[in-house]
């Protein structure tokens, strides 16, 4: 058989188109959070969005197309479609207040696209305060409800109980996704792989490392985040642990190892890495609130910690790196977010601004959107 030879220019054009499409993918351009607050990053500087209908005290997540167009968003309890209406079966998810669990959850929701389909998504949820609802997931199909999406299956149990920590990172194969949570009354992280065959719920990877997450239910509070390259993961441990921890992560195996601890920091809540991965930022509020602080940890220098910011707010919460490379700080019931302007810079040169970004009259609570990290 004669093998056809294509002109080089015909091969180059598709490659250029693929490269262009990849660079255009901005899955973190749209944020919905807090008291019907939102942000749009697509035009460079973030601008407020005023069309959101979600109110959430803490966790939330947003799904977009590859071009950054809205598909849906959730607070881990309800799911809103791109028309800002609750989906037909988009209620009663178990990432917050329910008949079996109190309050809200630090990272109540996380959305993971199905690696084998552009129409399927998984919404992972964690129960508040180590409640028995545990870690669950729901399947969302965008072909349903005339293309607006609906949930054919909800609240499928993976493990219980767990802390309020939930994060995800792309597998080393560039296709699959690791979803990471932490068991309650345990030192074990639990990682589940999402593949084109679905959520591998019967094959979790357990890693016993670092502090035991246990005690009163409030101890379950605190965020979990991956570094931009996916090689590290950080956790905030609230009362009575009062610390931040950093670990190594293997994107091929899902194993967590090599815990390093920073503390005490009373009521540690949010964590985020600088864009270059050299710094870790943590938010804490002091016992009972009122002593809001943002700390920077230089990961190349053991024990190097710098207080880089304080807030006029009584409580601050989540830290989230934006598409613009800045780190945004949730301030409870405030019409502005705090902003770390230059998070790669050492110490106070990172330039924390407390009233850094106005929300167009809407208010932040303690949460900001949770996204899959794609190295």
Report helix, strand and coil shares of the chain as percent, to nearest 5. Answer: 5, 45, 50
Coil vs helix vs strand at 146 = coil
pLDDT (tens digit per residue) in 85-131 = 999 999 999 998 644 445 799 999 999 999 999 999 999 999 999 99
Contact 78, 91 (CB under 8 A): yes
pLDDT (0 to 100) of residue 6: 33
| Sign of the Cα pseudo-torsion (6, 9, 13, 19, in order) | positive
Question: Could you say which residues of the chain have pLDDT below 70?
Answer: 1-25, 97-102
Q: Which DSSP string do the residues of 247-271 spell out, in sequence order?
A: EEE-TTT--EEEEEEE---TTEEEE
pLDDT (tens digit per residue) in 176-222 = 999 999 999 999 999 999 999 999 999 999 999 999 999 999 999 99
Q: Is the pTM of this model over 0.85?
A: yes
Sheet holding 327-331, edge to edge: 316-321, 327-331, 336-340, 352-358
Exposure string of 165-189, with b = 16+ CB inside 10 Å and e = fewer, is: bbbbbbbeeeebbbbbbbbbebebb
pLDDT (0 to 100) of residue 16: 35
pLDDT (0 to 100) of residue 25: 56
Q: Write the class of the CATH domain 26-358.
A: mainly beta
């Amino acid at each position: 058989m004669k093998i056809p030879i294509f002109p080089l220019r015909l091969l180059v054009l598709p490659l250029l188109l693929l490269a262009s499409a990849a660079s255009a993918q901005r899955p973190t351009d749209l944020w919905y959070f807090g008291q019907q607050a939102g942000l749009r990053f697509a035009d460079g500087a973030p601008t407020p969005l005023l069309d959101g209908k979600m109110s959430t005290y803490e966790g939330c997540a947003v799904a977009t197309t590859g071009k950054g167009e809205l598909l849906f968003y959730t607070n881990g309890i309800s799911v809103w479609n791109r028309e800002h209406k609750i989906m037909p079966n988009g209620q009663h998810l178990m990432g917050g207040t329910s008949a079996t669990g109190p309050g809200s959850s630090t990272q109540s929701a996380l959305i993971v696209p199905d690696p084998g389909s552009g129409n399927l998504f998984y919404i992972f949820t964690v129960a508040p305060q180590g409640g028995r609802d545990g870690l669950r997931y729901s399947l969302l199909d965008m072909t349903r409800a005339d293309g607006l999406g609906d949930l054919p299956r909800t609240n499928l149990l993976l493990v219980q109980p767990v802390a309020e920590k939930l994060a995800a990172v792309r597998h080393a194969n560039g296709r699959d996704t690791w979803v990471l949570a932490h068991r309650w009354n345990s030192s074990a992280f639990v990682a589940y792989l999402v593949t084109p065959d679905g959520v591998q719920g019967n094959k979790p990877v357990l890693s016993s490392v670092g502090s035991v997450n246990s005690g009163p239910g409030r101890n379950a509070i605190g965020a979990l985040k991956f570094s931009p390259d996916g090689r590290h993961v950080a956790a905030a441990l609230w009362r009575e642990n009062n610390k931040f921890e950093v670990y190594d992560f293997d994107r091929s195996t899902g194993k967590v190892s090599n815990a390093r601890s920073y503390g005490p920091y009373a009521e540690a809540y949010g964590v985020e890495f600088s864009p270059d991965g050299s710094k870790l930022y943590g938010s804490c509020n002091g016992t009972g609130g009122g002593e809001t602080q943002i700390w920077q940890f230089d990961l190349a220098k053991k024990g190097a910690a710098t207080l880089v910011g304080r807030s006029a707010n009584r409580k601050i919460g989540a830290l989230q790196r934006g598409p613009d490379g800045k780190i945004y700080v949730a301030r409870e019931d405030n019409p502005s977010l705090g902003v770390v302007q230059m998070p790669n810079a050492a110490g106070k040169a990172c330039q924390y601004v407390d009233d850094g970004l106005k929300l167009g009259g809407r208010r932040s609570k303690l949460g900001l959107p949770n996204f899959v990290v794609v190295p």
